Amino acid sequence: MCSLNNAIAQNSFTKLPKVELHLHLDCSLSFDCVKQLKPTITQEEYKESFIAPPKCTDLADYITRAIKGFELMQTKEQLRIVTLDLFKQLKEDNIVYAEFRFAPLQHTMNGLTASEVVAAVNAATEEGINKYGIEAGIILCTLRHYSEAQSLETAELVKQFKGTHVVGFDIAADEAGFPIKPHIKAFDFANQHKIPCTAHAGEARGAESVWETLNHFKPKRIGHGVRSVEDVNLLNYLKNKDIHLEVCPTSNVQTNVIDKIENHPVDKIYNHGVSMSINTDAKTISNVTLSSEYQLLNQQFKWDLAHFKKCNLEAIKHSFSSEATKKKITNLINASY
């Protein structure tokens, strides 16, 4: 089975249990979900507003498609509907453990407090876990363009909800457009309170961004990190320190980080021995599933079940879940591949 190098049907990947660590809640609204929240929307409008073209100008262009998503996530019931819709999509793709992320401060436009936002998503996550049998954790994001106070507020929310389904802290949005300085205090706070951290880096900027992020934020994982391949010393550092990269192939091509999929460094990173996983990033914006991402790598780089097993085992090992959950999912992956 592990030597299987021929094309594997996507439905075969769908049947396999999978772990996803890098997934944005507000970028993953299905058409049925949006139709429920905005009954007048048409398929054409949905495609235009929520799904990005195969090639965007850059990351900033790509994430403009997230705006329509969080605009529809401003009440407790809207947040519940979107969260449960994501669980339904995950179940259909046989995701057995997922960590999804969002920025709570983006959902306060209609009067909810940030704490109420997190409580609503946390309650919906509990509902989704019970309904669909998927283990899941929530990562709260600050954004690159946020102030020091906004970043600190977001980190404090993670501490406030410790012991719930909220499991970690992240920084997202336009890495190239904004400096890291306003966010150092928030990550210091998170690290002091033993809050697991990941951070977007090495996507819109090169290897120097990853170094900067590692030095100042000290995360256990890097969101994307694909441009780490530009510096062999960085790849060696990531490998030696067991820093996990959350790689999102289709998204990287769409955001113009990589010109075309055949030039994606995913294979080089894997072969260098750096811990990594495969993820969708933004299921709706990129119009992908994790199964379709696996099929893409199987076709493009001849990745077989051994590659995907390794990535899933690395994903659950580096997840922010409990030791009991890690053991349970590890056993399931080992038994299934």
What contacts 256, CB < 8 A, 6 or more positions away? 55, 56, 57, 58, 59
Q: Three-state SS for 122?
A: helix
Domain assignment present for 169: yes
Give residue-wise pLDDT tens across range 69-112: 999 999 999 999 999 999 999 999 999 999 999 999 999 999 99
Domain assignment present for 4: no
pLDDT profile of the chain (337 residues), mean per 10: 53 94 98 98 96 92 92 98 98 98 98 98 98 98 97 98 98 90 98 98 95 98 98 98 98 95 98 98 97 97 97 98 98 97
Instruction: Count up the domains in the chain and report the number.
Output: 1
Give the integer Cα–Cα distance in Å for 250 and 286: 7
Among 41, 171, 48, 61, smallest CA distance to 105 is for 171
- Report yes or no: 21 and 221 within 8 Å, Cβ to Cβ: yes
| Residue range(s) defining the domain that contains residue 201 | 21-336
Q: Three-state SS for 278?
A: strand
- Report yes or no: 126 and 165 within 8 Å, Cβ to Cβ: yes
Give the integer Cα–Cα distance in Å for 209 and 281: 19
Domain assignment present for 11: no
In this prediction, residue 7 carries a pLDDT of 62
- Report yes or no: 91 and 52 within 8 Å, Cβ to Cβ: no
Q: How far is CA 168 from the centre of its chain?
A: 12
Domain assignment present for 31: yes
Say how many C-beta atoms besides its own lie within 10 A of residue 91's C-beta.
Answer: 15
Say how many C-beta atoms besides its own lie within 10 A of residue 223's C-beta.
Answer: 28
Give the integer Cα–Cα distance in Å for 95 and 319: 14
- Taking CA atoms, 95 is separated from 17, 238, 328, in Å, by 6, 26, 14
| CA angle in degrees (0–180, nearest 5) for 45-46-50 | 120
Give residue-wise pLDDT tens across range 163-190: 999 999 999 998 888 999 999 999 999 9
Identify the CATH number of the domain in which residue 108 sits: 3.20.20.140
- Report yes or no: 18 and 95 within 8 Å, Cβ to Cβ: yes
**Six-digit token pair at 6?**
């021929």
Look up tokens 């993953």; give the residue: 28
- Report yes or no: 221 and 243 within 8 Å, Cβ to Cβ: yes
In this prediction, residue 290 carries a pLDDT of 98
Domain assignment present for 203: yes
Q: Is 2 exposed, middle or buried (0-12, 13-18, 19+ CB in 10 A)?
A: exposed
**Six-digit token pair at 299?**
């076709």
Known catalytic residue: 92?
A: no
- Give per-residue burial for 65-74: e unless 16+ CB within 10 Å, then b: bbebbbbbbb
- Taking CA atoms, 230 is separated from 107, 182, 233, 236, 265, in Å, by 37, 26, 9, 12, 10
Domain assignment present for 14: no
**Of the listed 20, 135, 203, 314, which one is catalytic?**
203
Domain assignment present for 66: yes
Domain assignment present for 7: no
DSSP summary character for residue 243? P
Q: Three-state SS for 127?
A: helix
